[in-house]
Amino acid sequence: MRIVIAPDSFKGCMTAAEAAAAIEEGMRRALPDADYVAVPMADGGEGTVQALVDATGGRLAPAVVTGPLGTPVAAVYGMLGDRDGGRTAVIEMASAAGLGLVDVASRDARVTTTFGVGELIRDALDHGATSFIIGLGGSATNDGGAGMMQALGVHLRDAHGNELGYGGAALAQLASIDVSGLDPRVKAATFILASDVTNPLTGPCGASSVFGPQKGADAMAVAELDTALRRWAAVIRDTLGRDVEHVPGAGAAGGLGAGFLACTDARMRPGVSIVAEATGLSARAYGADLCVTGEGCIDGQTRYGKTPVGVARIVKDAAPGCTVVALAGCVGHGADTLQDHGIDAVFGIMSGPVSLTQAIGEGRANLVRTAENVARLVAAIRIPHRHAPRPSISA
């Protein structure tokens, strides 16, 4: 029996590799003789750098950059091992500008910046990178990628010729964009944006309206930021000749997608597809009987490009008869709809209501236990049992 184990990370609890190891440990208790194939996965968000570095034999590169609130943060990116002679960098924007870097009380989408993302790109260029994979998940920002562009040499000025400060709200004062100072290495590099987000930059489905509230923006701030991003898009269109406002995915990571589309020839791709290619998931899933995937939370939104559904589609293309099971720390509303998207069953790993701290502390043990029970069910179904003959019933 061939079993593919391809989970994403369980945020705050286990990396994808740690989750895969826990699942395999549990399943081996019931199916010790199965052929196990572990393929840690990601979808462009947290864990993408580690998954791609592991898959390609690359290395991690640390860098101290400007964080979302303008103070230094310790970030890390990856240099992949078997692409272009190690000249491909993979960056999670959240490493420099993620929501996890800002405590709840300090969240303010009007002032947070992507400047540190640009610094990571510059550091990778200094280390020989010529192509980039940028994960756009988990941002604390809403600046349209303005900070990232400034870090790479672009000047954003108001009507008085003053350089704009940090944050999306400052874009309301934008009068001109000067790209003459843009690092020439950026123009020569290739960029792939890994994201499952298809939101435009502005409007009711845009970056500010949909994602702003989770970054500390109330209704008034959302309206202010949406207006500022409209200004941003208009000046980009008038100055650079690129209409980024309504491009699907331009609103990803607080509009960082729009910033890349404005100053590079970036292409957007689903993150799970990029990771699947690097890990060889399709080839490794050939002939699989069972696939176990999962992540911290699974609900109806999982069908929009998240790892479990992406894994299910890829595995079933490679092995049409394969059964796909997803495990999650939390199973939310709409998870039952995933049966229409390749996932045959979803199991929560929690045994009862507990605090978040306890859930994280017990996460690995719960994942091992649940994987073991899934394996015991599979074993009971697949392994024939000898039954004693039925006793005859006399009248």
**CATH number for 178:** 3.90.1510.10
Confidence of residue 395 (pLDDT cuts 50, 70, 90): very low
pLDDT at res. 76: 97
Range of the domain at 304: 2-41+280-382
Domain-terminating residue out of 269, 296, 322: 269
Distance of CA 168 to the CA centre of its chain: 22
Same structural domain for residues 327 and 194?
Answer: no
Is residue 382 over pLDDT 80?
A: no
Say if residue 105 is exposed, middle or buried (CB neighbours under 10 Å; 0-12, 13-18, 19+). exposed
Same structural domain for residues 378 and 262?
Answer: no
Same structural domain for residues 10 and 71?
Answer: no
State phi, psi for 385 to the nearest 5 degrees.
-115, 145
Confidence of residue 373 (pLDDT cuts 50, 70, 90): very high
Domain-terminating residue out of 239, 269, 299: 269
The domain that holds 318 is classified in CATH as 3.40.50.10350
Domain-terminating residue out of 211, 244, 269: 269
Percent of the chain having pLDDT more than 90?
77
Same structural domain for residues 148 and 174?
Answer: yes
Say if residue 204 is exposed, middle or buried (CB neighbours under 10 Å; 0-12, 13-18, 19+). exposed
Q: How many domains does the chain have?
A: 2
Same structural domain for residues 237 and 339?
Answer: no
Same structural domain for residues 229 and 305?
Answer: no
What is the pTM assigned to this prediction? Answer: 0.84
Same structural domain for residues 14 and 114?
Answer: no
3-state secondary structure of 299: coil
Residue 98 covered by a domain: yes
Q: What is the pLDDT of residues 3-49, one digit of tens each?
A: 999 999 888 788 899 999 999 999 999 999 999 999 999 888 888 99
Across the chain, what does the average pLDDT equal? 92
Confidence of residue 394 (pLDDT cuts 50, 70, 90): low
Same structural domain for residues 61 and 133?
Answer: yes
Same structural domain for residues 6 and 130?
Answer: no
Same structural domain for residues 369 and 305?
Answer: yes
Residue 387 covered by a domain: no
pLDDT at res. 198: 85
Residue 27 covered by a domain: yes
Q: How far is CA 327 from CA 5, 10, 50, 314, in A?
A: 11, 10, 21, 18
Same structural domain for residues 99 and 247?
Answer: yes
Same structural domain for residues 81 and 157?
Answer: yes
